[in-house]
Amino acid sequence: MRDKPRPANAPMAFLADIHGNVTALDAVLAELRRRMITQIYVAGDLLLGGPDPVEVFKRLQQVDARCTRGLADSALVELSPDRLAPATEEERAMAERFAATRDAIGELALMFLQRLPERLRIPMMDGSEIVMVHGSPLDPATEISHDVDDDELLHLLGGDPADIVVCGASHVAFQREIEGVRVINVGSVGASPEGGLAHFTVITPRVDGALVEQTWVEWE
């Protein structure tokens, strides 16, 4: 019988959507080192999209980041570049980037992505629980956006028992609370809509409830 994980008792950093941008990731990691935060979680979409997928993979290994699988991660594992049929110039550029990323990262990184779970659960010292997923508890491939209405938000929570839902996918950082569940979208490290800003969220466990700080660093 496996031992239950110990409740978190130190600040944790939550990231998402690095998209192969090691410059942005390095900026976040430098700030986390300054704050002496060593527990790092990443909610998917790790390597595809930017120029540095191999370096991003190395950084995540170096800091022992715990990750969940995003849509882009699944695509790298499951899709063969030979089966892509781009019809437009934009689609051709995306297909070329996809093939180049897949070739660059190699089998070791592909195995890493394939083994990533869709969800991670973290018990907290106040008795609550965090679930981290790329999209939503209902469907890791379906994002929770900042403008979703209450009914749709409840639907996307899917009855998950967690008290805090940490997600990414939409690239827009926000917090919502509904029916006692705190939803925290941590935005994007490498592809934020503002450009040049890398989002991250720090959650600090406390006996009277978690303290949440959503912030960002510049990387350009």
Q: Domain containing 200 — which CATH number?
A: 3.60.21.10
Q: Where are the beta strands (DSSP E) in 126-180?
A: 129-133, 164-167, 173-178
| Per-residue pLDDT, 1 | 45
What is the mean predicted confidence (pLDDT) over 9-29?
97
Residue 91 included in any domain: yes
Domain-located, residue 19: yes
- pTM: predicted TM-score of the whole model, two decimal places: 0.95
Tokens of 92: 């051709």
The angle formed by the CA atoms of residues 130, 204 and 64, to the nearest 5 degrees, is: 75
| Residue whose entry in the numeric block shows the structure tokens 């594992």 | 77
Domain count, the chain: 1
Residue 1 forms part of a structural domain: no
Q: Which amino acid is at 220?
A: E
pLDDT for 93 equals 87
Q: What is the DSSP letter of 129?
A: E
| 2 within some domain | no
113-122 tens-digit pLDDT:
999 999 999 9
Give the integer Cα–Cα distance in Å for 163 and 209.
10
Domain that holds residue 180: 12-218
157 within some domain:
yes
Read off the tokens for 175. 């917090």
| CB 144 within 8 Å of CB 156 | yes
> In this model, does residue 2 exceed pLDDT 70?
no
Report yes or no on 196 lying in a domain: yes
Answer whether residue 184 is part of any domain.
Answer: yes
In a domain, 3, yes or no: no
